[in-house]
Structure 1
Amino acid sequence: MKKNVLITGTSTGVGFESAILFAKNNFKVYATMRNLEKASKLKEHIEKDNLDIHLLPLDVTKTETIKAAVDTIIENDSKIDMLFNNAGAGFAKTTEQATEAEIKWVTDVNYLGVVYCTQAVLPHMRKQKSGQIISITSVGGLVGQPFNELYCGAKFAVEGFMEGLATYVSEPFNIKISCVEPGGISTEFMTSAIEKTAIEGQFATGEYAPIFERYMAGNQKRANESETQVYQTGLEVANVVLDVAQNENPPLRIRTSQWAEDFCNLKTQADPDGTKIVQQLKDSFL
């Protein structure tokens, strides 16, 4: 029987590419998104290549939609083999200038959505004594960056959540936990981040304006210097996710490019894949 996988945020980018890639590699894919009206491009691929992809509505900020999607999978297959927490959104703005609604939104989408989806699948994986949970975090989940502190804070939270979870669900229940940490991704994710910042004119005035202008200029310079491989395609990141999914002993942490590896080196050099810290935590607490 094929392994099944629930993927969040599949309308574009890494989620879209992962849904297709997993289906082409003998997975039964449950591709979810907030609005199924955005599934037309994915439907074209499903029909063209006769892919085993099933579309479900799921909004990671609404627990009732998460439960409904997981219930559907269990009803259809009596199991859930893998969760890929992919849904997320970029955000760059100073803490001072962010509204309460924006702070809640960036936290809900990037952190609490991961918690809620993970919470929904864990009882089934624990019962079947097998499963895998892969979460897209970011180099921003390891290294805080200017004007990204709220986004990085949410991604740091995912890293801590997954690290803590890995210490006690891995061995007794055979549930594998991994965080995939890209640098920049050339997808609508980046477009969304920019729309939340410069397009709204948040930094046109004020003391932060010249600092932010330097930050945006640096981003543009890195985007233009393709040889540095800062910005990967969604498919390149999806291939790393697939490798993790097919690994019998997947790492807790993995960067998706040499640039990301170098960027995080000061934080990761003692324990690049996170296996040492998990073992240390098990030895200390369990």
Structure 2
Amino acid sequence: MKKNILITGTSTGVGLESALLFAREGYKVYATMRNLDKAEPLHDAISKEGLDITVLPLDVTKVDTIKDTVATIIKADGKLDILLNNAGAGFAKTLEQTSLEEIDWVTNVNYLGVVKTTQAVLPHMRAAKSGHIINITSVGGLVGQPFSELYCGAKFAVEGFTEALASYVGEPFNIKFSLVEPGGIATEFMNNAVAKTSNDKGEMVTGAYKPIFDTFLQGAQDRAANGDATAYQTPEQVAAIILDLAKEENPPLRKRTSDWAEQLCHLKTKADPTGNKLLQEVKAKFL
């Protein structure tokens, strides 16, 4: 039986390209998204290429949709080989100007969604003593960046969550854990962040922070507009790295996806680029 993979957030970007690439490589893909109205690109590819992709509804903020989708996969295949936690959303705003509702939202989408989806999948992988959980974080999961404290905080949380799980679930139950840490990705990610955090005048940040934010945003927009190859990757490039990671017999705990990402994080990662050394030390110290 071919390997299968559950991917969250496949309507656009890295999730969409990962679903297509894994299917073209012979995997059975369960491509999920919150809004099935955005599934047309997947359906077009399925029709044109005969890809083995099943599109299912899954909102990472709603536990019932997670459980229903996992149950559907287990009923169909009796197993789940790979979970790719890709769903996430950008958020750029000052803490002072962020509402409590927005704090809950960015945390739910970028952190708690990963926790809940992993929780639903783990019993099946543990019983099978086989599986690979790949969590997409960001260089923002290693390096805090201006106006991204809530987004970075959520991604830092995913990093710690994954590292801790790997320390005691990985080896005894033959479950692999990997963190994929891209830098900038040339998608609508920043545009979505702008739309989500702007007020009715189109302003994301006002008051004393505005001059600093305008400089920050202009730099991000200039890099994207100029197609800065050092800072931005395409979704296809990141998807290819995820596929290679999934094929590795002993994948690293951490994987940056570009030289730019490596350079940004090097002060935190140069002693242990993959995270595997520290993972082994933690296991030796505590278990």
Is TM (by shorter chain) over 0.5? Answer: yes
Look up the match of 2:101. Answer: 101
Segment of structure 1 superposing worse, 196-205 or 86-95: 196-205
For 2:276 and 2:39, how far apart are their aligned partners in 1?
A: 37
Unaligned runs of 5+ in 1: none
Q: Tell me, yes or no, if the aligned pair for 1:66 and 1:117 is still in contact at 8 Å.
A: yes
Identify the residue that residue 206 of structure 1 maps to in structure 2. 207
> Structure 1 residue 189: deviation in Å?
1.9
How many equivalent pairs are there?
286
Query: RMSD in angstroms over aligned alpha carbons?
Result: 1.2
Structure 2: any 5+ residue segments left out of the alignment?
A: none
The percent identity for this pair of structures is 65
Q: Is the 1:92–1:148 Cα contact (8 Å) retained in structure 2? A: yes
Structure-2 residue corresponding to 1:45? 45
Tell me the residue number matched to 1:241: 242
Q: 2:40 & 2:251 partners in 1: Cα distance?
A: 33
Deviations 1:26-84 (A, max 9, x none): 10000000111110111000010000000110000000000000000000000111100
Per-residue deviation, residues 124-183 of structure 1 (Å, max 9, x unmatched): 000000000001000000000000000000000000000000101111100000000001
Shift of the 98–48 alpha-carbon distance from structure 1 to 2, 3 Å rule, reads same
Q: Distance in 2 between matches of 1:55 and 1:236?
A: 23
Instruction: State which drifts further: 220-229 or 250-259.
Output: 220-229
| Partner SS, residue 226 of structure 1 | coil
Which residues in structure 2 correspond to 1:197-276 (within 5 Å)?
197-198=197-198, 200=200, 201-203=202-204, 205-276=206-277
Q: Distance in 2 between matches of 1:268 and 1:136?
A: 17
Tell me the distance in 2 between the aligned counterparts of 1:136 and 1:274. 15
Aligned to 2:150: 150
Contact 1:228 1:259 in 2 (8 A): no
Secondary structure of 2:70 counterpart: helix
Q: What pairs up with 1:76-225 in 2 under 5 angstroms? A: 76-198=76-198, 200=200, 201-203=202-204, 205-225=206-226
Contact 1:136 1:180 in 2 (8 A): yes
TM-score w.r.t. the length of structure 1 is 0.97
Q: Distance in 1 between matches of 2:107 and 2:50?
A: 37
1:220-273 deviation digits (Å, cap 9, x = unpaired): 232244354211111111011101101111010000111001011011001000
Q: Which residue pairs with 1:285 in the alignment?
A: 286
1:56-95 mapped onto 2 (5 Å cutoff): 56-95=56-95
